[in-house]
Amino acid sequence: GRGTTTFDGISIAYSVLKFILEKLQLRTLFATHYHLLLDEFRNSPNMKFNYMDYRVDSVNERILFLYNLVEGECAKSFGLNISKIAGISEDVVEIARLKAEEFDKEFHLKQNENKIIKTKFDHIIHILLDFDRDSEIQEDHLLEMLSK
Of 138 and 18, the structure prediction assigns the larger pLDDT to 18
| Number of helical (H) and strand (E) elements in the chain, helices listed first | 5, 2
With a cut of 50, say whether residue 128 has pLDDT above it: yes
Q: What is the pLDDT of residue 136?
A: 60
Could you give the percent of the chain with pLDDT greater than 90?
21
pLDDT score for 148:
65
Among 33-37, 47-51, 79-83, the minimum mean pLDDT is found in 33-37
**pLDDT at position 89:** 93
pTM value is: 0.57
